[in-house]
């Protein structure tokens, strides 16, 4: 399966701490994306990193991609209670469609 698998499945931290989520996948990819889903809502696109990129930043988000290890990480710095959500690693490759993992559930406590 090409599906991205997130680790950990759940993460609980205090406000102000950094949160790191990891993703592993199995085959070659065109790009890798991270999405956020607040409880019971639609998904919001956070960041897209192409297979020839190693690191990308967007505000408090930092994404890395290691194609040799078939892995990616999402770092959220200085977390806030509003960051509480599920985060999905999404890979795309030869299927011309996105493949979603099961997600990491992040809880940020005030």
Partner 1 sequence: DGGITQSPKYLFRKEGQNVTLSCEQNLNHDAMYWYRQDPGQGLRLIYYSQIVNDFQKGDIAEGYSVSREKKESFPLTVTSAQKNPTAFYLCASSPGTSGTAEQYFGPGTRLTVT
Cβ closer to partner 1: 15 or 24? Answer: 24
Instruction: Tell which positions 38-67 bind partner 1, by CB under 8 A.
Output: 40-45, 48
Q: Is 100 in the site for partner 1 (CB under 8 A)?
A: yes
> Residue 57: phi, psi to the nearest 5?
-120, 150
How far apart (Å, rounded) are the C-alpha atoms in residues 104 and 6? 6
Q: Interacting stretch for partner 1, rule CB under 8 A, among 14-22, 28-36, 58-66, 73-81? A: 28-36
- The SS3 call for residue 34 is strand
Q: Is 92 in the site for partner 1 (CB under 8 A)?
A: yes
List all residues 6 or more positions away from 18 whose beta carbon is below 8 Å from its beta carbon.
75, 76, 77, 78, 79
**Using CB under 8 A as the criterion, which residues of the chain lie in contact with partner 1 when the complex forms?**
3, 30-31, 33, 40-45, 48, 88, 92-93, 95-98, 100-103
């Amino acid at each position: 399966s090409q599906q991205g698998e997130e680790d950990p499945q759940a993460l609980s931290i205090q406000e102000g701490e950094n949160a790191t989520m990891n993703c592993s996948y199995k085959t070659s990819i065109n790009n890798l994306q991270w999405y956020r889903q607040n409880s019971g809502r639609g998904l919001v696109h956070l960041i897209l990193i192409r297979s020839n990129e190693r690191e990308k930043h967007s505000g408090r988000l930092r994404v890395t991609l290691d194609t040799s290890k078939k892995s990616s990480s999402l770092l959220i710095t200085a977390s806030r209670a509003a960051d509480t959500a599920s985060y999905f690693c999404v890979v795309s490759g030869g299927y011309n469609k996105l493949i979603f993992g099961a997600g990491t559930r992040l809880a940020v406590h005030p």
